[in-house]
Structure 1
Amino acid sequence: MDWKLGYGSLALGISLLASEPLSVELERVEVSQERYIAPTMQTYETVYTGSEVSQKGMELSGVRAKSSVYEAAGILPGVQVESVENNGLGIEQSNVRIRGVKSSLGALSVEGIPNYGGNPIGPRDYLYDMENMESLSLYKGAIPGDIGTGVGSRGGAITLHPKWAKEESGVEFSQGVGSHGYTRSYLRLDSGSLGGSGTRASGSFSYTDAEKWKGEGDLGGRKNGNITLVQPLGEKGSLKLWANRNDQDSHLYRGLSYTQASDLNANARLDYNDQKTGVAATDINYYDYNRGEYQNDDYLAVFDYALSDSLKLSLKPYYSKEDAQVYQGVTSGGGRVQKRTRDIERKGVIGELGGELLGIKSLLGYHYEESDMNIYTQNYAITGQTLSYRGYGVFATAGTAKIHSPYLKLSTQSGNWHYQAGMKYFRFEDSDSQGYVSSAAAPYGLNRASDLDREGEVHDLWVPTLGVAYDISESWQAYASYGKGFIRPYSYMPLMNTYQNNRAAFMAAGVSAKDLFDGYGLEKSDNFDLGIRYRGESFEIAPTLFYGRHQNLLTNISDDRVIVGGKPISYQQNIGKATSYGVELELNAFVSEDWTLFFNPTYTRMTYDEDLSYQGSVMEVKGKQVVDTPEWMFRAGAIYTYGAWELAPALRYLGNRYGDSTHNEKIDSHLLADVRLSYLRPKFYQGSSLKLSLEVNNLFDKKYISVINASDDARNGSATYYVGAPRSVMLSVALGF
């Protein structure tokens, strides 16, 4: 879609609706210092179940948190962020784990409305300008039923709280520049309340670009537009609408083998080739054959209305569209380029009734969604200096999948005790799919292949939550909670690729694609938390013990019926089991009015419960730490203010990890130092504000492996490793009127 036309349609659509949420006061313990992280609860709750990062807290993660939700959440304990960039522009080449579970198996929502896609499954964390968010909340373990978990919550759930159009008119502008050609321009306009209707609107636009820090290619430009309208409806209700478009083209970074990753002095700068050679096996590593084009449009409305003093209605319709093409060189067929297309459309509605009766707060809701995910691959031969179309790799029709998810949440308080319970029913109705293969000659038309057909299935699950807290004093609180996590079946394309690449062997054994998909199901987890919180004037501390049992994990198995190269073939099925436990700590110390210290460490043990088989042999993984999961990690730092100046040094530590399940590929720990220096003038010129910031990431220019791209049961040699970004320097100026 044309950029200007698309944004014109966006602006026109937004002008039709507006809204403002009903205000719900939540109890808070106030301290004199500015808060970066705070416990948070949802509406109609009495038990704190999540952690909230404020705008100030997101600033501690610097420039990289402006366009990446996960980077903004990275300050929290239990959140393991691995990035190839210091600027947040590395689309789908980062890796995030929450308590050892991949974030792709978790949830991300805006105002409770889920954001996710397929291939890869999971949230798109790069779609938003975080300057347009008031805060974000992260839920781990027990996740309230009204959190928009979409298709899964095994990897936790993040909720974004938008910065809606303000009652006062204003202008915000910021400009950033930095290492490797980094530039970012951001502008936001707020109309303020207009006339007696109270209507108000906001619009923002940003443009971000940078060169890759190694090799040829760019990470942008990234263009993001956001518009909100707010319309009060008397004293009883409000209507609002939020729309967001994100458009980005980005070249990819080249991953390393374990041998290459073991010698970073020689290979840290190894990347894709900047010239073509005319040799297909070499040119799969040409940089312009390894890139992505991503466009996402998201619209949501929220209608709130007080039916009575004790009963409130909320309706949230939404629509989401993803259009992405990712090109990558592959070795199959002697070397070719494969294009993966994602054409995803989701539409749904969330309805809620909430109120309080006889001291019990209750919320009854229903989430319904329809999704159409047309995901397929196409192949291109490398012929000299050009690409020649060679038909589809995997093509299967995609019908409409549906989600039905009613939920109930109850909470109450008795003296110092706080109670909460909830139940959600999740039903995923997968659609039928018909398979096709390309003909062997031009024009490479599609031919029916019934052995590639897949029947639609229904996957459902009851998802309970339970929480209790006790106020020991005004400052101390103990709490415990239980919650079930889940994720719908995923990783369809790898299974189809395995089948199609070995189709003759599968057909000879009488095994169809449907037989393989019969082994797919919901991954599940049972999560328990036990903790205590202290919130006082001089410090606040919140240690949490967590324990999880994970079942039906997607795991490679060997199939003796299908022999390829003299060995049984392997593919994924939902049979794995794992156990996790550990401790997290949030600690903020207010040493003086000028000094604040924070220390957020995490200890995690996550291990497979059983050995695994692969191509006729046993992989001894029982009791070993899951791939890419360090036992120890932490974020720590300080904030020192002196007049208008603020200095914020910080440390990021990630312990030893492994790139394979048998622990032959060890990646050493790393400790990174960052520093940010800011100058703030709240009253700069005629009511305007000025903020200047200088930040240096990876201060000591350490060479290290940041991202490990591997499945949890990865065997030796199957993981890909990505080098972390070198030292970068960023300078930004922000003006507010």
Structure 2
Amino acid sequence: MALLSTVLAVIPSYGWAAEKSQHVRKGKAHPQHTLPASRPSAARHASARAMQPELMQVQGRRVSHGAQTVISQHVFTNAVAGTSVMKALQNVPGVLFQSDDAQGVDTGGVKLYIHGFSQNQIGFSLDGIPLGESVYRNYNGLNAVAALSSENVGHMEMSQGAGAVDMPSTNVLGGAIMISSSDPKDKFGGTLAATGGSNATTHAFIRIDSGKLNPTGTKFYVSYMRNDTKLWKGYGTQFFQQANLKLVQPIHNESSVSLLFDWADVQQFNYQSETLETVQKLGYGISNYYPNYRLAYNAAQGIYSHGEDKTSDPKDVSYYAGTTASRDLLGGLNFHLKLADHLRWDSVVYGHNQKANTQWSDPWMASANGAPLSEIVKQPDIQRFGLTSSMTYDIGKHEIHGGIWYENNKYVSNMFAYNDPLLADGQTLTPNPFRKWSDPFAKLWGQTYNTNTMQTYIEDTWRPVKDLSLHAGFKSMLSTTHVGQTGNYEPYTGTNALAGGVGLTTFGAFLPHFSGDWHFLTHHELYFDIAKNMRAYPESGYHLSASPFAVSQEAFDLSRSSVKPETSWAYSVGYRFTQRRVDFSVSAYRVNFSNRLGALVQGSQTNPQTTVLNLGGVTMNGVDAGLTLRPLRGLSIFNSISYNHSTYDNNISQQGTTYATKGKHVVNYPDLMYKATAEYTYKKASFNIDALYTSSRPFSYTNDTSLPSYWLVNFGARYNFGRIGRLENLTASFNVTNLTGSRYLIMTGDDGGNPLSGDYQSLVVGAPRQFFGGVKADF
């Protein structure tokens, strides 16, 4: 097989930048509720601005983080109902979001980058609850897609810097995304919404708000969301349902206790991963064989049906099926207490459990019963709990903030092989890829991880004179992981022992963060931001990522002395002009990334041979510029351009061959992005159109292959009928995604790998043009 001779590297790509300097801290890890006197006037003003009808706003919220962009619920109003929180960021300068579905909810086909940093190097939190690495096959949290229904998002804050020191995350190398849920309403009521569209898409949402139940102000809401769609190519469905509960108990005027609960159930057929070769020779329409089991059965025996043999690797062109099923339970209890006039205490206690199956049909491994293919099912389990606690003290011109975060995470990573049925001549079968998996004929491998993380921090924001804020702080991070082997099927893994009975510790005693913000004239602002960050050693299933644990015991022993935690130094400086009719901003940034971990892989996806090494560093320089014009009442026009130049600092040597990667561009992230948005509101009608240009992206580390550039245009229209009977804000909407029908390629959501040179099966096709219409009303 041709791919057996292809050498690959699963190496993260990196980048960093800052968009907006924030200069006074107000408990961002523990977002406060909108109680009447719980925020200073400046923060209340920023909150009000966040609700204005712009697609995004860079807010002057008084927080000590580096660059900060606030994304309001209005973004979701303009988008297709059910759009994920990640896709809601796609119009922000420096952000690259790509997905194989229109809503961005296919966890296996979504990619998010912020200035070159992938989503597994970006911190995520929900109401102060850490979400871990928000990726496909998450090991220490849950994907942000499944954390909260998008209709319940109050707002999001995105730091394009290295993230604040109080961010509860072990992977904040390239920024942070803080999601805040909306609060229950003061009056009894609710929301109903329904949407239909292309590929039999249906989206339904219902929310009931209790209103204030007693004189103390107790209130809550419960909601249920259901999203179902067929694949836009091939056969299969993507089903997602979710329930949320939030309860708020005010305590006097400036304190509160709140409870948040999330239940998410995902059952998705995945799109088939492709190579550049298969797209060039067979087109964009290649899909898996499901529900035609006979075609898959024959292909496993070398009998092909739609041109697979035109490629160098016909068996991997299509599989019978690939699916993802997961069920998450997440809960958090928030305390926001004013202890004295100048002293506040904020804490979160949380827990999370996930059970999942990720399945794909393997034409290379026969079933024990003699069928020429089998089902490979990864069955992970996550159990974690933790707490964050912080104190904020205002004294004179200083605001001092310090706190702690602790988490214990148990991650069970097992993979099994199950029999597929024998097929007699003339017989028709359609095995269910979501069937209850029992009685495997082999446990291919198993590892159990246990990780304890402790993070402490302290920071001070000093305002020596009016309109000038200086911030300094640091955090310390200690994360210790132990792993044990629980299974190893040597004919599959090719080794007599996996990494087991071993551990690694990530320790950063002093990870500083400095920033300054100066409003030197009316409407004018200058800022800078400097930060160092560190990422704890990642975990994963055997050979599934650049984890130093996901290898054989021999490979672990060889790499242990050279593997170090990934670190980054990030620097940014920026200027902003803000006026009623014009906003302009420009920021420049530089990143020095060290100890880049890479999984050097040789072989195919179904039988990789992996070694994890320290592969050196990355140097990045970039600039973002944005301009918003509001020439007429109701009309807003936004344009931005982002340039990024990031290169590898070292060559890579593998099995005696040196690959010339020094000075080559970082894979998967474009040098140039242009974004434009126009929104017009006239009386009860509103319209928006977005255009995004993404330049070509290097695919191989030697840059001898690349993914083509493309344009993506989206359109939306809405009409608010106002009050009709008992319904309020009855709104009809119409959306078209990928209006021009662009065809483009993206990386799969599971970081399947980039080739050191040439091609590899880790691509999916971006979502085509699709149409959606919906109605929504409050009562």
TM-score, normalising length: structure 2: 0.83
Return the letter of the residue paired with 1:645: A
Given the alignment, which residue of 281, 297, 300 partners 2:332? 300
For residue 630 of structure 1, give the secondary structure of its aligned residue in structure 2: coil
Contact between 1:557 and 1:612, CA under 8 Å: does it hold in 2? no
Cα displacement (A) at 1:693: 0.7
**Aligned-pair CA distance for 1:434:** 3.6
Deviations 1:523-581 (A, max 9, x none): 1111111101111011112211111011111125699xxx99xxx97622233211111
Query: Following the alignment from structure 2 to structure 1, what is the Cα–Cα distance between the partners of residues 536 and 405?
Result: 15
Query: In structure 1, what is the equivalent of residue 401 of structure 2?
Result: 363
Map 1:691-730 to 2 at 5 A.
Answer: 691-707=731-747, 709-711=751-753, 714-730=756-772
In 2, distance between residues paired with 1:351 and 1:556?
36
- Asked if 1:486 is matched to 2:534, the reply is yes
Q: SS where residue 151 of structure 2 aligns? A: helix
Q: Tell whether 2:435 aligns with 1:402.
A: no
Q: Using the alignment, how far apart are the partners of 1:707 and 1:494 within structure 2?
A: 20
User: Cα RMSD over matched residues?
Assistant: 3.2
Aligned pair 1:229/2:279, yes or no?
A: no
Q: How far does the alpha carbon of each residue in 1:77-105 deviate from its partner, in whole angstroms, 9 at most, with x for none? A: 11101100112231222111111111122
In structure 1, what is the equivalent of residue 236 of structure 2?
Answer: 217
Q: Which of residues 417, 430, 441 is equivalent to 1:379?
A: 417
Q: How far apart, in 2, do the equivalents of 1:497 and 1:531 lie?
A: 35
Tell me the distance in 2 between the aligned counterparts of 1:130 and 1:497. 29
The alpha-carbon distance between structure 1 residues 276 and 599, as it changes in their structure 2 partners (threshold 3 A), is same
**Deviation at residue 289 of structure 1 after TM alignment:** 3.6
Matched, 1:106 2:122: yes
Letter in 2 for 1:39: V
Higher mean alpha-carbon deviation, 118-127 vs 307-316, is at 118-127
Q: Please tell me whether the aligned partners of residues 258 and 720 of structure 1 are also in contact (alpha carbons under 8 angstroms).
A: no
CA distance in 2, matches of 1:512, 1:259: 32
CA gap 1:205/1:33 in 2 versus in 1, 3 angstroms: closer
How far apart are 1:486 and its partner, in Å? 2.6
Q: Secondary structure at the match of 1:82?
A: strand
After superposition, the Cα gap between the structure-2 partners of 1:364 and 1:242, relative to the gap in structure 1 and judged at 3 Å, is same
- SS of the aligned residue for 1:457 comes to strand
SS at match of 2:757: coil
Match of 1:475 among 505, 520, 523: 523
Is residue 2:150 matched to residue 1:130?
Answer: yes
Counterpart position of 1:12: none
Q: CA deviation at 1:427?
A: 0.7
Query: In percent, how many aligned pairs have the same letter?
Result: 19
Aligned-pair CA distance for 1:726: 1.4
CA distance in 1: counterparts of 2:498 and 2:230, whole angstroms = 45
* Aligned-residue offset at 1:688: 1.3
Distance 2:726 2:444 in 1: 62
Shift of 1:451: 6.3
- Name 1:609's counterpart in structure 2: 649
Query: 2:609, 2:251 → 1: CA distance?
Result: 62
- SS for the counterpart of 1:573 is strand
Structure-2 change in CA distance of 1:450 and 1:218 (3 Å):
closer
Q: How far apart, CA to CA, are the structure 2 residues paired with 1:498 and 1:437?
A: 20
Counterpart of 2:10?
none
Distance 2:498 2:181 in 1: 47
- Cα 1:196/1:491, change in 2 over 3 Å: closer
Which one of the candidate residues 351, 359, 380 is aligned to 1:327?
359
Q: Distance in 2 between matches of 1:432 and 1:705?
A: 36
Q: Provide the secondary structure at the position in 1 that maps to 2:277.
A: helix
**Counterpart of 1:554?**
597
Q: How many residues align?
A: 695
Structure-2 separation of matches of 1:430 and 1:33: 45
The answer on 1:276 being equivalent to 2:279 is no
For residue 184 of structure 1, what is the amino acid of its counterpart? H
Tell me the SS of whatever aligns to 2:238: coil
Question: After superposition, where does 1:20-419 map in structure 2 within 5 Å?
Answer: 20=33, 23-25=38-40, 26-27=42-43, 28=45, 34-40=53-59, 45=63, 49-63=67-81, 66-116=82-132, 119-120=137-138, 124-127=143-146, 128-148=148-168, 150-220=169-239, 222-262=240-280, 266-274=282-290, 275-277=292-294, 278-279=297-298, 281=300, 289-330=321-362, 332-333=364-365, 335-382=373-420, 384-385=422-423, 389-398=440-449, 400-415=450-465, 416-419=467-470
Task: Evaluate the alpha carbon distance shift between residue 454 and residue 576 of structure 1 in structure 2; reply closer, same or farther with a 3 A threshold.
Answer: farther
CA deviations on 1:234-258 (whole Å, 9 max, x unpaired) are: 2352111000111010001012111
Distance 1:69 1:397 in 2: 31
After superposition, the Cα gap between the structure-2 partners of 1:211 and 1:492, relative to the gap in structure 1 and judged at 3 Å, is: closer
Aligned with residue 455 of structure 1, among 495, 502, 506: 502
Per-residue deviation, residues 410-444 of structure 1 (Å, max 9, x unmatched): 1021223211111111110112424532498xxx9
Q: Give the whole-Å Cα distance in 2 for the aligned partners of 1:211 and 1:558.
A: 34
Shift of 1:364: 0.9
3-state SS of paired residue (2:120) = helix
| Closer/same/farther in 2, CA of residues 285 and 607 from structure 1, 3 Å limit | closer
TM-score under structure 1 length normalisation:
0.88
User: Offset at 1:496?
Assistant: 8.3
Distance 1:681 1:558, change over 3 A: closer
Q: Residue 20 of structure 1 contacts residue 239 of structure 1 at CA under 8 Å; is this kept in 2?
A: no
User: 1:523: which partner in 2?
Assistant: 566
| Counterparts of 2:691 and 2:389, CA distance in 1 | 43
Q: Are the equivalent residues in 1 in contact too, given 2:453–2:478 (CA < 8 A)?
A: yes
| 1:263-317 alpha-carbon deviations (Å, 9 max, x no partner) | 5xx4211100131123472698776641111111110011111111011111210
Find 1:541's aligned residue among 584, 591, 615: 584
**Could you list the runs of 5+ residues in structure 1 that have no partner in the other structure?**
1-18
Q: Deviations over 1:54-93 (max 9, x none)?
A: 1113434434xx3422101112111101100112231222
* Most deviating of 112-121 and 670-679: 112-121
Sort the Cα spacing of 1:347 and 1:479 in 2 relative to 1 into closer, same or farther, 3 A: same
Question: 1:548 and 1:428, CA in 2 relative to 1: closer, same or farther beyond 3 A?
Answer: same
**CA distance in structure 2 between the partners assigned to 1:719 and 1:614 by the alignment:** 20
For 1:134 and 1:487, the matched residues in 2 are separated by 29
Alpha-carbon separation, structure 1, partners of 2:245 and 2:443? 38
Alignment of 1:412-427 (within 5 A): 412-415=462-465, 416-427=467-478
Of structures 1 and 2, the one scoring higher in RCO (CA 8 A, sep 6+) is: 2
Q: Which residue of 2 aligns with 1:9?
A: none
Give deviations 1:654-702, integer Å, cap 9, x for gaps: 1111211112222211012211111113444457111111011111222
SS of 1:662 mapped into structure 2? coil
Establish whether residue 576 from structure 1 lines up as the match of residue 619 from structure 2. Answer: no
